[in-house]
């Protein structure tokens, strides 16, 4: 949600919230803003934040007193966290860090950011303490073997209508993926996490069942490779998380390296196409996932769109033709169906790939021209 004067937000709240959204190290969302006035005719002085935590979001309501702006806001936590008392907990350095409230300055746009960061840090400790108190021998053992890893977050989930379970968010790969991509456009470091969900039991079993496992990454990383396409290594009987992670990280590191190498292969393919089709009118210069060429057969001009998958060359590009002269009833240019039924082998060199594509397009362009002229395309 954008914050602006049009939102009827007091200037000091808008400044603090804008600073928070632009500097918070993880993706943070404002779900809604509203006013103390039930008719929302007054200034918006309260809002709901979606705080990223353990690969999910927790909801906190932040409530200002717009009539007394020198007072720090109240923060209302979720119904499951009634025992969360952040200012009665020791901070990471062993002290009770209340300075973010005691010397509150409503004119300082950094104050809300400091408050939310402090509360989130305390929430990490609070959830870790809750999980550590669970009466489950297997969980206690798992925690003892992985606590030395930095950045692990855990969450205890319970309720009347759902079984108790503990969720871990484990950061993977001690490698800077951003630096591996030339001209990387990503603002924040790209991370891959393993989500591990254990049901809470009361007895230690000699061969406990495997936990639920899922790889999670930011949506930006999908431009390099898709986590959904990664097949997780099997979880063997009797295995613990500390044993599972090294093999998984070795496998993932190989996957990332191959994905980076695929960028150069896609670039070579686009350059090979340019020999036959001329310089592209548009192309993705970083990940080389897209390229568009202008071509003609006689007086018929058309665009050729190439959508190149991250698993190139194992998976072939999808081709789509678009007329520059024919339009449907909504005045949208006519396009062909996605084309993948052309000669292809991942073992070919880029020049041979481009040659075979060019040969295929010579006939397909005539068919596309006829379909456009006959009006059989929509």
pLDDT at 10 over 90: no
User: By percentage, how much of the chain surpasses pLDDT 70?
Assistant: 91
For residue 205, the model assigns a pLDDT of: 54
Overall average pLDDT of the 8-36 stretch: 81
Span 34-42, average pLDDT: 74
The pTM (predicted TM-score) of the whole model is 0.82
pLDDT digits (tens, 9 = 90+) for 81-92: 888 988 877 655
Largest CA distance in the chain: 79
According to the model, what pLDDT value does residue 13 have?
Answer: 86
The mean pLDDT value for 355-372 works out to 93
Average pLDDT, the chain: 87
pLDDT of residue 217: 92
The beta-carbon contacts of 324-329 under 8 Å, at least 24 apart in sequence, are 324/294, 325/300, 325/301, 325/372, 326/372, 326/373, 326/377, 328/377, 328/378
Domains in the chain: boundaries: 1-127, 134-267, 289-374
Which one, of 282, 260, 270, lies nearest residue 308 by Cα?
Answer: 270
Residue-level pLDDT at 14? 86
pLDDT score at 11: 85
* Percent of residues, the chain, with pLDDT higher than 90: 54
Range in 41-50, 244-253, 278-287, 297-306 the model is least confident about: 41-50
Distance (Å, rounded) from C-alpha 355 to C-alpha 59? 55
For the cut 80, the answer to whether the pLDDT of residue 377 exceeds it is no
Q: Are 55 and 127 in contact (CB under 8 A)?
A: no
The three state secondary structure string of 312-328 is CCCCCCEEEEEEEEEEC
Tokens (6 digits) for 133:
């108190």
pLDDT band at residue 95 using 50, 70 and 90 as cut-offs: very low
Q: What is the pLDDT at residue 90?
A: 64
H or E segment and range at residue 47: strand 44-53
Q: Is the peptide bond before 46 cis (omega within 30 degrees of 0)?
A: no
Is the pLDDT assigned to residue 108 strictly greater than 60? yes
Of 308 and 106, the structure prediction assigns the larger pLDDT to 308
Q: Is the pLDDT of residue 129 over 50?
A: yes
Supply the pLDDT for residue 3: 60
Q: Which residue has the higher pLDDT, 337 or 93?
A: 337
Over residues 191-198, the mean pLDDT reads 94
Instruction: Write down the CATH number for the domain with range 1-127.
Output: 3.10.110
For residues 76 and 41, the model is more confident at 76
């Amino acid at each position: 949600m954008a914050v602006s004067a049009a939102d009827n937000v007091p200037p000091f709240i808008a400044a603090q919230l804008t600073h928070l959204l632009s500097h918070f190290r993880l993706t943070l969302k404002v779900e809604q803003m509203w006013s103390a006035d039930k008719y929302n005719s007054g200034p918006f002085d309260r809002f709901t934040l979606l705080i990223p935590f353990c690969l999910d979001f927790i909801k906190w309501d932040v409530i200002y007193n717009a009539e007394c702006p020198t007072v720090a806001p109240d923060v209302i936590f979720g119904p499951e966290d009634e025992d969360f008392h952040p200012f009665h907990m020791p901070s990471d350095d062993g002290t009770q860090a209340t300075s973010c409230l005691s010397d509150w300055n409503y004119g300082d746009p950094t104050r809300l950011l400091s408050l939310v960061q402090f509360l989130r840090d305390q929430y990490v400790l609070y959830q870790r303490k809750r999980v550590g108190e669970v009466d489950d021998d297997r969980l206690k053992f798992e925690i003892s073997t992985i606590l030395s890893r930095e950045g692990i977050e855990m969450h205890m989930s319970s309720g009347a209508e759902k079984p108790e379970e503990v969720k871990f968010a484990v950061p993977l790969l001690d490698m800077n993926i951003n630096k591996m991509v030339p001209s990387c456009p990503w603002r924040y470091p790209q991370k891959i996490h393993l989500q591990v969900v254990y049901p809470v039991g009361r007895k230690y079993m000699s061969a406990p069942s495997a936990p639920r496992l899922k790889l999670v990454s930011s949506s930006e990383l999908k431009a390099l490779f898709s986590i959904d396409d990664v097949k997780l290594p099997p979880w063997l009987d009797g295995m613990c998380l500390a044993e599972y992670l090294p093999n998984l990280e070795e496998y993932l590191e190989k996957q990332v390296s191959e994905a980076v190498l695929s960028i150069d292969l896609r670039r070579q393919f686009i350059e090979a196409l340019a020999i036959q089709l001329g310089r592209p009118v548009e192309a993705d210069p970083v990940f080389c996932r897209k390229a568009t060429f202008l071509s003609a057969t006689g007086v018929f001009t058309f665009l050729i769109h190439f959508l190149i998958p991250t698993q190139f060359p194992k998976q072939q590009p999808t081709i789509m033709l678009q007329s520059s002269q024919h339009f449907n009833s909504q005045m949208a240019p006519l396009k062909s169906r996605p084309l993948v039924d052309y000669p292809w082998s991942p073992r070919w060199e880029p020049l041979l790939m481009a040659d075979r594509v060019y040969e295929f397009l010579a006939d397909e362009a005539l068919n596309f021209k006829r379909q456009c002229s006959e009006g059989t395309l929509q």
